[in-house]
């Protein structure tokens, strides 16, 4: 999914960097701007919705 988004935005595939975070670290990584998107499962909760923006159906 991340590669599709990158190419749709005009970036080459080697622009995508894969970084492993535990489930507990994902929210903090987004808030610290260490990552642009999370391309993994992340439950949408009211608390998380107040901290970051979610996309999807």
**DSSP alpha helices (H): ranges in 1-57?**
2-8, 23-31, 46-51
**Is 52:30 a contact under the CB 8 Å cutoff?**
yes
| The pLDDT of residue 46 | 93
Task: For the chain, report the end-to-end CA distance as a whole number of angstroms.
Answer: 14
Distance CA 30, CA 1 (A): 17
| The pLDDT of residue 31 | 92
pLDDT, tens digit, 9 for 90 and up, residues 7-53: 999 999 888 888 998 988 988 999 999 988 888 888 889 998 898 88
| The pLDDT of residue 8 | 94
| The pLDDT of residue 5 | 87
| The pLDDT of residue 12 | 93
Which CA distances in Å does 27 have to 3, 11, 18, 31, 51? 21, 25, 16, 6, 8
| The pLDDT of residue 57 | 62
């Amino acid at each position: 999914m991340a590669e599709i988004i990158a190419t749709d935005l005009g970036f080459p595939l080697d622009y995508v960097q894969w970084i492993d975070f535990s489930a507990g670290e994902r929210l903090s990584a987004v808030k610290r701007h260490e990552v642009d998107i999370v391309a993994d499962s992340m439950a949408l909760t009211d608390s998380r919705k107040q901290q970051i923006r979610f996309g999807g159906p």
